């Protein structure tokens, strides 16, 4: 029986990827459709993608598939054809090709079965995820941005919104998508008669959010087809103004795609204009935060003097300090400060 998971260390896999000479294409895609046997679907898809040297993160659930992957440029068309043929629901699947791509986004294929491809927290059995709002293409998005009766709603997490968004877009201030859904319904009550335009990175979150808004009585609901990625690509191709400002946060090694030259965020340590997300270099922290080059040098790529001090200790003492400590990826939140309590950093399906 073939091996259906990776057996090589992350360090070796990353070294192999960096040694590749052929450029890679980073692409994301998703599709809501019913999968009767997610485990069998996952295993067969793993074999298909492995043969094409695909790296990335893929989630499969009974409700569909969600993927962010990289593929050797010469294999892109073959991968697309293989996906189209893999299941009838994937025929002509929309592929969101990365905008600002160095091909170094992933170095291993991780394909997992999940309860949902988007963790939404919805328990209402009457909810129909297919009853979505109307799609908006690039020109229609720009027209809506000039419509005083339209409200743009950003369905991404606060650290994504911080580095890039549409002007005057409403931020739903929650750490996870499941928390945003009920909050959006409440926050938009006074705008129920307006046009509600929802958007996210690649379309998967705002598509489900548009269905949830319709489920809760909102009638004039729209969402941007293919999210920020597809909007920016099509606007550029069609010679339209790109109205999204700043960076589009992405959940891979790049941590961001430059959409416009505007820098709308600030370094979390000194306050200077900056929109570069990094993880604290201290293995006992790994806080996700924004750090400018000057502070990176000053703090040795750490989030605080405490982490800087710990990083300077001998490896054995660092490990001793971490023993028994609750550790995990954390995210900076302005209301909590750099030394916020440990929290899970949501993945793109959240």
Of the candidates 200, 206, 280, 285, the residue annotated as catalytic is 200
Strands (DSSP E) contained in 77-233 are 96-97, 109-113, 134-136, 150-154, 164-166, 170-171, 195-199, 221-224
The helix (H) or strand (E) run that includes residue 330 is strand 330-331
Q: How crowded is the C-beta side of 54, counted as CA atoms within 13 Å?
A: 27
Distance of alpha carbon 128 from the chain centroid: 24
Q: What angle is formed at CA 202 by the lines to CA 197 and CA 271, rounded to 5 degrees?
A: 85
- 90 token code pair: 């994937």
Q: Which residues pair with 197 in a beta bridge?
A: 152, 222
Tokens of 193: 């008669």
274 is catalytic: no
Helix/strand/coil for 237: helix
Q: What DSSP state is assigned to residue 298?
A: H
Q: Which residues are catalytic?
A: 200
């Amino acid at each position: 029986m073939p091996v259906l998971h990776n057996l090589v260390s992350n360090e070796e896999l990353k070294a192999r990827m960096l040694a590749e000479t052929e450029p890679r294409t980073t692409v994301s895609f998703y599709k809501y459709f019913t999968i009767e046997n997610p485990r069998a679907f996952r295993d067969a898809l793993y074999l298909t993608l492995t043969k094409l040297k695909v790296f990335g993160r893929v989630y499969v659930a009974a409700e569909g598939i969600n993927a962010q992957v990289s593929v050797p440029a010469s294999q892109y068309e073959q991968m697309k054809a293989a996906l189209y043929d893999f299941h009838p629901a994937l025929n002509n699947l929309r592929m969101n090709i990365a905008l600002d791509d160095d091909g170094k986004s992933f170095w291993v294929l991780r394909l997992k079965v999940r309860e949902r491809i988007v963790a939404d927290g919805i328990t209402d059995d009457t909810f129909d995820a297919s009853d979505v709002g109307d799609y908006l293409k690039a020109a229609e998005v720009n027209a809506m941005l000039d419509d005083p009766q339209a409200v743009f709603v950003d369905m991404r997490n606060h650290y994504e919104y911080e580095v890039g968004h549409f002007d005057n877009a409403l931020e739903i201030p929650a750490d996870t998508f499941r928390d945003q859904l009920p909050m959006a319904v409440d926050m938009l009550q006074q705008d129920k008669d307006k046009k509600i335009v929802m958007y996210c990175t690649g379309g998967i979150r705002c598509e489900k959010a548009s269905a949830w808004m319709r489920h809760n009585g909102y009638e004039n609901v729209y969402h941007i087809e293919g999210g920020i990625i597809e909007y920016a690509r099509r606007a550029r191709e069609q010679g339209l103004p790109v109205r999204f400002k700043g960076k589009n946060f992405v959940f891979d090694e790049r941590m961001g795609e430059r959409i416009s030259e505007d820098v709308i965020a600030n370094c979390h340590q000194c306050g200077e204009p900056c929109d570069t997300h990094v993880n604290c270099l201290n293995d006992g922290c790994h806080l996700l935060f924004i750090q400018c080059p000057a502070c990176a040098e000053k703090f040795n790529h750490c989030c605080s003097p405490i982490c800087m001090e710990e990083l300077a200790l001998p490896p054995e003492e660092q490990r001793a300090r971490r023993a028994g400590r609750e550790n995990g990826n954390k995210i900076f939140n302005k209301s909590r400060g750099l030394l916020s309590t440990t929290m899970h950093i949501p993945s793109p399906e959240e």
